[in-house]
Amino acid sequence: MARILMKGNEAIAEAAIRAGATNYFCYPITPQSEVAEYLVKRMPEVGGVFLQAESEIAVANMILGASCTGKRVFTSSSSPGISLMQEGLSYMAGSQLPCVVLNIVRGGPGLGGILPAQSDYFQAVKGGGHGDYRLLVLAPSTIQEAVDLTMLAFHLADKYRNPVMILGDGMIGQMMEPVEFPDSYSEPELPPKDWAATGASDRDPLIIRSLFLDPTTLEENSIILHKKYEQAKKEEIRFENYKVKPSNKVLIVSYGTMARICQTVIDDLEPEGYSVGLFRPISLFPYPEVALRKEATRKNIESVLVVEMSMGQMVEDVEKAVAGARPVNFFGRTGGIVPTPEEVKDQIKKLIKKKSRRGRPAKKRK
């Protein structure tokens, strides 16, 4: 199919439809309202459900109810709205219900701003709501990747019977890039949805719930969830290396659109003689811990630099992966300010200078 120019929010919305998610519930919030504006026109064409709810609390519970039918459901929001959805997401994880949630992250905390940020990392990858559960989290860095990951997200949601989050930032939502949709959508076969509430006509009644007052049963449920997350750690690790090679002295770790800015940094520094590589996690949960450790502990790597649009959140997962084998440094801007390539370049030059200075004999320093 031909490449077409689409805004991120619209491309993701179209991808959801292509993946068979014809049930969408929403509440308006900048910078992702184009998703709703696109789907309100598109849903009737495919006979789907579009509903604007009274709040994000209601949205999360509508997708909870809708997901119980066994049909694919989708919602989108931005940071403050995602906070309101945590109740429903916790219930869905506890009840083992699939759904896909798009979070076009804006600066926080509180009402914050509306410009791009990555400050919802903790909320996204550590559970977000109450209880022992995780969301599977995917972070695209281009619009094409956002399309591909959105389609994958619906498959993973069904495969693991768990909510999956697409974590983008304002840039992913607002910018336009060429995208290609596959001519036909196909995915590996999934088990039948015998857990869905379809009416007790030819089977015993079923109950979809996360309430287990008996502690043994509740523990059993948490163990089932845990096993699914362990399986995801084996099967759903996704990342990309950019110019990672033996000569690298610094390894940048960055995700989403921030990683693209780091690519520019690496390209610009190359002719100046700095050898820098980029490790870009695509699945933020499960986190590509083992792969990162391998790249970060290559012989010539002197230090690791984590770059985020936050005050430092993913850096904790990088520290865990590197486990003290190399120094882990952090650079970030937040509140909607996007680090410029120049700022990141300065950080790298400082790191490399610091390192080489230390190696010089003392007398030459005077």
- Site of interaction with another protein (CB under 8 A): 3-5, 23, 25, 30-31, 49, 51, 53-55, 57-69, 71, 73, 87-88, 91, 95, 113-115, 170-171, 174-178, 197-201, 205-211, 257, 260-265, 267, 338, 340-342
Nearer to another protein, 114 or 237 (CB): 114
Nearer to another protein, 264 or 300 (CB): 264
Give the shortest CB-125-to-another protein separation in angstroms: 23
Give the shortest CB-101-to-another protein separation in angstroms: 14
Give the shortest CB-197-to-another protein separation in angstroms: 4
Nearer to another protein, 328 or 338 (CB): 338
Token pair of 310 as six digits: 């936050």
Q: Please choose, from the candidates 195, 346, 352, the residue with its C-alpha nearest in 3D space to the C-alpha of residue 273.
A: 352
Give the shortest CB-294-to-another protein separation in angstroms: 24
Q: What do you get for the CA distance between the two ends of the chain, in Å?
A: 64
Three-state DSSP at 328 gives: strand
Q: Please choose, from the candidates 248, 334, 251, 320, the residue with its C-alpha nearest in 3D space to the C-alpha of residue 287.
A: 320
**CA pair distance 124, 105, nearest whole angstrom:** 10
**CA pair distance 74, 32, nearest whole angstrom:** 14
Nearer to another protein, 133 or 285 (CB): 133
Q: Phi-psi category of 182—alpha, beta or left, where left has phi over 0 and alpha has psi -120 to 50?
A: beta
Give the shortest CB-111-to-another protein separation in angstroms: 13
**CA pair distance 271, 280, nearest whole angstrom:** 22
Give the shortest CB-364-to-another protein separation in angstroms: 36
Nearer to another protein, 82 or 265 (CB): 265
**CA pair distance 281, 58, nearest whole angstrom:** 32
Give the shortest CB-200-to-another protein separation in angstroms: 5
Nearer to another protein, 237 or 337 (CB): 337
Q: What is the DSSP string of 279-326?
A: EEESEEES--HHHHHHHHTSTT--EEEEEESSSSSHHHHHHHHHTTSS
Cis peptide before 271 (omega within 30 of 0): no
Nearer to another protein, 280 or 326 (CB): 280
Tell how far CA 285 is from the center of its chain: 8
Q: What is the maximum alpha-carbon separation in the chain?
A: 88
Nearer to another protein, 88 or 281 (CB): 88
Q: Is there a contact between 289 and 317 (Cβ–Cβ < 8 Å)? A: yes
Give the shortest CB-5-to-another protein separation in angstroms: 6
Helix (H) or strand (E) holding 230: helix 215-235
| Environment class of 229 (CB within 10 Å of its CB; exposed 0-12, middle 13-18, buried 19+) | middle
Q: Is there a contact between 181 and 148 (Cβ–Cβ < 8 Å)? A: no
Give the shortest CB-287-to-another protein separation in angstroms: 24
Nearer to another protein, 158 or 317 (CB): 158
